[in-house]
């Protein structure tokens, strides 16, 4: 787990989306580059760009002779380079897409081609879940002669804002509680989140504003017994409500595993800990500093007052301890994770 006050120093969602939209707009305007390196931990944007190129750069009639798809683990650099050097047949361009390029052996041998790419070839390297080292000849050549797009993984606290933007582009809105509820349940896999949002947009016909009730009805997440409500109960030190939620979790272990609870609570209590050390504790300042929706800042500030920094430090230690125990370290193999979760919440509250 990260240090309680540590935040990602990577690209902000706004910059990431702006770069993605610029590439897509250029493609739609037929501003097409000879080589694309689509890399990074988040595959969602990589898939959208590569899919657009695959479906739209060539006409259906041109694709038969001029479009090829390679898979990194089953292909060689030599075959890809030779294919890229061919001239298109009865078309202005040919398109070559390399999926799973991160599995391509000796990918750096593509550097000579990238230094002098064919103007009539569009070579797309889908390098998922990692980045090509920026100081390599290949990366430098692609940056000079083509496009390098890095799709950074968004953090959990950035997902509610992403959900709001995604729905706004489709003329829908969502309440802050519903966005947080979806994030708590789905995590930060943008492809999975987008898929569920598309289903919600189809299912919600009577209104264009999505609420927790819509999520409960269409996705099956309880609006009253979920990790978000558990955080609120712990923040209020509402023993009864917290215990009711934990009992619900125990009855539905597949939907509410301790492996999902711990990271969420770690982020929550880390934020409460950080609030104690902010000079400006106004709602707007807290929301900005912690990267959260202003709607939640008021409750977070109130919750921070119920816990001393010492107690919060202790709670973070408890979460670390049970994170290890949930992986089978330091406990009997007979210990049930449901019991671990109950025990963990008891220690947090006492």
Confidence band (pLDDT; 50, 70, 90) for 11? low
pTM assigned to the model: 0.78
Closest CA to 150 of 18, 7, 291, 2: 18
d(CA 301, CA 281): 7
Per the listing, tokens 């539905």 go with 252
Can you count the helices (H) and strands (E) in the chain?
17, 7
pLDDT at 88 over 90: yes
pLDDT at 205 over 50: yes
Per the listing, tokens 């007052």 go with 305
Confidence band (pLDDT; 50, 70, 90) for 333? low
Q: Which of 89-93, 226-230, 315-319 has the lowest mean pLDDT?
A: 226-230
Confidence band (pLDDT; 50, 70, 90) for 232? very high
Q: Which pLDDT tens digit goes with each residue over 58-73? A: 999 999 999 999 999 9
pLDDT at 1 over 60: no
User: If you ran DSSP here, which 8-state letter would residue 110 be given?
Assistant: G
Which domains are delineated in the chain?
13-150 (3.40.50.300), 156-218 (1.10.8.60), 227-349 (1.20.272.10)
| CA angle (132, 84, 143) in 5-degree steps | 35
Closest CA to 233 of 246, 221, 220: 246
- 3-class secondary-structure state, position 276: coil
> Do residues 266 and 319 make contact, with C-beta atoms less than 8 angstroms apart?
yes
Distances (CA, A) of 18 to 11, 12, 159, 241: 11, 10, 16, 42
User: If you ran DSSP here, which 8-state letter would residue 153 be given?
Assistant: P
- 3-class secondary-structure state, position 182: helix
> Do residues 56 and 27 make contact, with C-beta atoms less than 8 angstroms apart?
yes
* 127 sits in which H/E element: strand 121-128
Residue 183: the pLDDT is 87
Bin 124: left if φ > 0, else alpha if -120 < ψ < 50, else beta. Answer: beta
Per the listing, tokens 């083509």 go with 146
């Amino acid at each position: 787990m990260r240090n309680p006050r540590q935040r990602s120093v990577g690209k902000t969602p706004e910059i990431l989306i702006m770069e993605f939209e610029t590439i897509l707009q250029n493609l739609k305007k037929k501003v097409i580059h000879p080589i694309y390196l689509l890399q990074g931990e988040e595959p969602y944007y990589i898939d959208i760009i590569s899919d657009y190129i695959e479906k739209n750069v060539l006409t259906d009639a041109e694709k038969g002779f001029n479009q090829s798809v390679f898979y990194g683990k089953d292909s060689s650099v030599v075959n890809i380079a030779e294919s890229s050097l061919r001239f298109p047949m009865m078309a202005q361009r040919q398109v070559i897409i390399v999926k799973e390029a991160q599995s391509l052996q000796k990918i750096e041998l593509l550097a000579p081609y990238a230094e002098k790419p064919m103007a009539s070839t569009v070579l797309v390297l889908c390098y998922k879940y990692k980045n090509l080292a920026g100081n390599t000849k290949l990366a430098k050549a692609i940056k000079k002669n083509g496009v390098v797009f890095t799709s950074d993984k968004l953090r959990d606290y950035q997902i509610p804002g992403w959900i709001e933007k995604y729905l706004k582009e489709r003329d829908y809105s969502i309440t802050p509680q519903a966005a947080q509820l979806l994030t708590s349940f789905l995590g930060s896999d943008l492809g999975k989140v987008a898929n569920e949002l598309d289903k919600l947009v189809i299912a919600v016909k009577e209104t264009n504003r999505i609420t927790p009730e819509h999520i409960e009805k269409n996705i099956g997440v309880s609006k009253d017994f979920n990790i978000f409500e558990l955080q609120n109960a712990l923040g209020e030190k509402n023993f009864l409500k917290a215990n009711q939620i934990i009992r619900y979790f125990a009855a539905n272990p597949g939907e509410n595993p301790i492996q999902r609870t711990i990271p969420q609570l770690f982020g929550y209590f880390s934020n409460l800990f950080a609030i104690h050390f902010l000079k400006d504790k106004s709602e707007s300042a807290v929301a900005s500093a912690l990267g959260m929706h202003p709607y939640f800042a008021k409750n977070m500030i109130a919750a921070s007052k119920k816990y001393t920094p010492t107690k919060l430090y202790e709670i973070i230690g408890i979460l670390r301890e049970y994170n290890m125990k949930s992986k089978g370290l330091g406990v009997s193999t007979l210990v049930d994770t449901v019991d671990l979760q109950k025990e963990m919440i008891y220690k947090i509250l006492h």
